[in-house]
Amino acid sequence: MTALRWWLSDAWVVTVRHLRRIPRQPDMLVFATIQPIIFIVLFRYVFGGAIGKSVPGGDYAQFLMPGIFVQTVVFGSVAATGIGIAADMEKGIMDRFRSLPMTRTSVLLGHSLADVVRNTMTVAVMVIVGLMVGFRFEGGFLGAVGGIGMLLFFGFAFSWIAALIGLSVASVEAAQSGGFIWLFPLTFASSAFAPVETMPGWLRAFAEHNPVSVTVNTLRGFFNGTDIGTNGWQSLAWAFGVIAVFLPLAVLKFRRASSH
C-alpha cells in the first residue's frame, strides 16, 4: 500500500510539473485549440455541403463533431506527450528524474495524465464551437459524459505510443515528424469525416476496423442517442490493447535510454 501511495505521489508531482507550463506557455494550448476549430469550420462549411448529402440523416454537424473530437485528442496526445518527452530527453531532464527515488512508470504516467487534462480543456472549447455550428448532444447528459470519458481514455492510450516515439528519436523535430506521419492515414482513412461506404473496397476494409473509426462510431452513438452496437467494446479493446503493448515498451525504452 505504501509503494502504491508513493507511486501515485510521484506521478502526481510530474503531472503538476507539466500542468504548470500551461499558464507559463499559454500559446501551446492556444495553438492546440485553433487547429481543431479550423478543421471544424473547413469541414462544416467548405466540404459539408458535398459530404453531408451522403451521411445518415443528412446532418453533417452531428456526423462531423465526433470525428473532430477523436482526431483532436489523438493529435494532441501525440504532440504533447511525444514531443514533450523528446524535449525533456534532449535537455537532460529525464536523467534528473532518473537520479531521484522515483519509479520509471510514474515519470511517464505524469506526462500522460497532464495530456489528459490538456485534452479536457481543448474538448471543452470544441464543444462550445460545435454548439455554435449546429451540433447537439442528442443522447442527453449521460450520453455526453460517456462519450467524453471514452474519448479521453482513448487519447490516454495513444499517448503511450507517443511516449515510446519520444523516447526513441534523437530530437524534438524527429518526434514531431514520427508522431504524426502514421496518424494521418489512421484518421483520414476512417469514418471520422466521411461515411466508409463511399470509399473503394480495399480502403473501406481498413477504414471500417481501424481504432479511430470504431471510437468515432462509439461517440456518435453516445452523442446522437443511437445504437452503439459492438463499437464500444472494440474501442475499449483497442485502448486497453495499446496500453498493454506500449506502456511496458515505453518504460523499458526509458530505462535503457536513461542508462546512457
pLDDT digits (tens, 9 = 90+) for 101-159: 667 677 788 888 888 888 898 899 899 999 998 899 999 999 999 999 999 999 999 99
Q: Give the pLDDT confidence score for residue 257 in this predicted structure.
A: 66
**Residue 74 resides in a domain:** yes
**Residue 9 resides in a domain:** no
DSSP state letters, the chain: -HHHHHHHHHHHHHHHHHHTHHHH-HHHHHHHHHHHHHHHHIIIIIIHHHHGGGSGGG-HHHHHHHHHHHHHHHHHHIIIIIHHHHHHHHHTHHHHHHHSS--HHHHHHHHHHHHHHHHHHHHHHHHHHHHHTT---TTHHHHHHHHHHHHHHHHHHHHHHHHHHHHHSSSHHHHHHHHHTTHHHHHHSSSSSS-GGGS-HHHHHHHHHSHHHHHHHHHHHHHHT---TTHHHHHHHHHHHHHHHHHHHHHHHHHHHHT-
**Average pLDDT in the chain:** 83
Q: Give the pLDDT confidence score for residue 240 in this predicted structure.
A: 96
**Residue 16 resides in a domain:** no
**Residue 11 resides in a domain:** no
> Model's pTM, two decimal places?
0.87
96 closest CA partner among 17, 162, 173, 20: 17
Q: Which three cell numbers stand for residue 242?
A: 495499446
Question: Maximum Cα–Cα distance for the chain, whole Å?
Answer: 59
pLDDT digits (tens, 9 = 90+) for 202-229: 889 899 889 999 999 999 999 998 888 8
The whole domain housing 219 covers: 28-44+59-258
Distances (CA, A) of 112 to 12, 44, 165, 192, 206: 11, 31, 13, 24, 28
pLDDT digits (tens, 9 = 90+) for 62-85: 999 999 999 989 888 877 778 778
Measured distance CA(19)–CA(98) in Å, rounded? 20
> Cα(first)–Cα(last) distance of the chain, in Å?
32
Cβ burial 130-155 (10 Å sphere, 16+ → b, else e) = beebebebebeeebbebbbebbbbbb
**Residue 67 resides in a domain:** yes
**Residue 178 resides in a domain:** yes
**Residue 205 resides in a domain:** yes
**Residue 39 resides in a domain:** yes
**Per the structure, how many domains does the chain have?**
1
